[in-house]
Amino acid sequence: MDAESPKPEAMPVAATADAPLLRISSLTKRFAGYVAVDNLSLDIHAGEFFALLGPSGCGKTTLLRMIAGFETPDSGEILLNGDNIVNALPHQRPFNMMFQNYALFPHLTVEGNIAFGLKRLGMHASDVKDVVAQMLALVQLEGLGKRRPDQLSGGQRQRVALARSLALRPKILLLDEPMAALDKKLRESTQRELLELQRKLNMTFIIVTHDQDEAMTVADRIGVMDHGRLEQVAPPRQLYEAPRSRWVAEFVGDVNVFEGKMTGEEQGRVMVETRDAGTIIVPKPQGADDGKTLCVAIRPEKIKVSQRGPVNDLGGSAAINRLAGVVADVGYLGNATVYSVKLDAGAMLRASVSNTTRLDADSYQIGQRVVAWFVPADCMVLEQ
Amino acid sequence: MATRSIGQLSPFNVVALTLGLAFLYLPIAILVIYSFNASRLVNVWGGWSTRWYAELMNDQAMLAAAGMSFRVAAVSATAATILGTLAALALSRGERFRGRTLFSGMLYAPLVMPEVITGLSLLLLFVAVQTERGFWTVTIAHTTLTMCFVAVVVQSRLGSIDRSLEEAAMDLGCPPAKAFLYVTLPIILPAVIAGWLLAFTLSLDDLVIASFTTGPGSSTLPIRIYSEVRLGVKPQINAICTLIVAAIAVVIVSASLIAKMSSIRGESAAPL
């Protein structure tokens, strides 16, 4: 492969960890009336699988299109290995894009689509044939090379698009919502294959998605975007367990949020008197002062539900939050049951309980009094 | 999808189909039949004969007019296809510019403009610039007339193409001009060909604009036929009209066969 590789440069390796492969610096793009990307800076390292996650209209696709060269930023720089490529045209950038609708050329066969970029390089016909065969094997489409795109299923088209964008061995592969058109089961298996492929080829992938499960599954790091800004850039686990803001906590996964004021401190923990869920003990946040308004966030799966609550404070070592209430709604999801508990203090709280056995011994009915409890360490304290 | 034979259609559909086709093709059928009439009188049947075709071959004026018409149609259709395709590209692919809607509307105006007005204004123009009227003035006039038809046909095809196809071509190493050549043009080619055929037929058919813009000694076929018919319908006219119908039928059938062949070939094997 390397002998015929269209781009003679060696594959990027993660040897120089400090120097990013791609550096986006103060990038801004305005469209008539609104700012799509707002003074955004980001480093992408070689060999990384990076996901841009955000609600629709947050500017993630615009950012990807600026990296590909389809949009020109109003200000800012895009540096590839230190060289500013912000004025380079799409065909001059060593990136390839996999489009959301795949953008397969309808007048060409599968082979013709994959060979398109190779031919533009002036590659010898027999070499083109070899690379096309390799790519077809890579995406497991051997034998379908003579078909036209309209004779393929959605999943097959997606693979052709992937093979076409990988054929040129781009320095970075850009994927714009690549699985939006696939059904759930196919999407999950495709995500796994994409991840395997990225590791096998040791390439740098940037994926744009609004599906947080997809981002969590495939990405080494996730950048959460909103209103043209990066809210947080972190590995999936950190993003979920230590979100930087209330917005990130609410966007990534499900969460209960209670607003309150700090009232006291003991042994590295603080008491927060919430507006509608009583007093909650949480780990002491950095730079916390008495009287400051805070948000206490707790994921539903961190909350246990029982009829009476735990016996004691486990020898005083761990203060446990107990919130009494009445079951208001039960949502059965198969693997888990989500209880909505109307707390006596007024708030509604969601608790997700894993259904670990086939017996329904732990189930509660609507109207039943329960205690929802959780340890302070599972609480996240966030700025408003 | 199962194709039904005509016998399986409902009686209503059979009647509708028959009446519709008769309405369209009965006059042409009568024309064709009477072109083989042995009698000199147009409305009297005198048995089968091909004598009018033989006489047509000796009618130099008529043959010259036919040659002129086909040359005008070929040149003006080609020019109109190039200009019309460029106009369609500018309107659907260019940057949004001020007055674009106005420009777009103005392009379509000749579609609804009475031919008399188009013809007259072109005549005034040619007189104003003191051009000698003949082959080139008719060709220019027909290009003006047919260009907007080509633009409409090509623009509708362009509108159905996903912009990301061109972006994908650029992403895979094509400068914008090559992206057009390798991706956009092959996809719009059927519309471009259809536009050319439409322009060719419109030019061949036109009497009004040609009458305004032609000069002495360079009549097109419709002008020639019209002036002959004013002196009474001669059987030769039937013969040449039959030939034109046959020529157009051959063009249309071969065009649809080419389209069908290329789609069949695409299914089995297409070159890389």
In 3D space, the residue among A258, A328, A322 whose CA is nearest the CA of residue A293 turns out to be A258
Cα nearest neighbour of B165 on chain A:
A103
In 3D space, the residue among A277, A273, A376, A358 whose CA is nearest the CA of residue A320 turns out to be A376
Q: Is the pLDDT assigned to residue A312 strictly greater than 80?
A: no
pLDDT in tens, A128-164: 999 999 999 999 898 899 999 999 998 899 999 999 9
Domain A22-94+170-247 in this protein, CATH class: alpha beta
Q: Give the least confident one: A182-186, B92-96, B162-166.
A: B92-96
CB atoms within 10 A of CB A102: 24
pTM of the model: 0.79
CB atoms within 10 A of CB A160: 25
pLDDT in tens, A217-275: 999 999 999 999 999 999 999 999 999 999 999 999 999 999 998 888 877 788 888 98
Closest CB from A95, A132, A148 relative to B266: A148
Q: Are A163 and A150 in contact (CB under 8 A)?
A: no
| Chain B interface test: which of A66, A72, A105 (most B C-beta within 10 Å) | A105
Global ipTM = 0.80
Q: Which helix (H) or strand (E) holds B256?
A: helix B235-268
Mean pLDDT over B87-108 rounds to 80
In 3D space, the residue among B192, B101, B108 whose CA is nearest the CA of residue B153 turns out to be B192
Q: Are A285 and A379 in contact (CB under 8 A)?
A: no
**CB within 8 Å: A91 and B171:** yes
pLDDT grade, residue A8 (50/70/90)?
Answer: very low
In 3D space, the residue among B159, B179, B181, B182 whose CA is nearest the CA of residue B171 turns out to be B179
d(CA B34, CA B245): 14
Chain A hits for B173, Cβ within 8 Å: 91, 117, 120-121, 168
Which of A:264-303 have CB within 8 Å of B? Answer: none
d(CA B188, CA B68): 30
Task: Report chain A's mean pLDDT, rounded to a whole number.
Answer: 88
Touching check for A89 and chain B: CB below 8 Å?
yes
Chain A hits for B266, Cβ within 8 Å: 107, 109, 148
Distances in Å between the Cα of A332 and the Cα atoms of A4, A154, A360 are: 55, 32, 11
CB pairs under 8 A between A and B: 82
Mean pLDDT over B116-131 rounds to 91
Query: In degrees to the nearest 10, what's the CA dihedral of A93, A97, A99, A104?
Result: 90
pLDDT grade, residue B63 (50/70/90)?
Answer: confident
Token pair, residue B137, equals: 């003035």
d(CA A235, CA A378): 19
Please report, for chain A, the start and end positions of each structural domain, with discontinuous segments joined by +.
22-94+170-247, 255-382
Architecture label for domain B74-231: Orthogonal Bundle (1.10)
Q: Is the pLDDT assigned to residue B228 strictly greater than 80?
A: yes
* CATH code of domain A255-382: 2.40.50.140
Which residues, 6 or more positions from A342, have their beta carbon under 8 angstroms from its beta carbon?
A325, A326, A327, A328, A348
Mean pLDDT over A203-210 rounds to 94
Q: Which helix (H) or strand (E) holds A81?
A: none
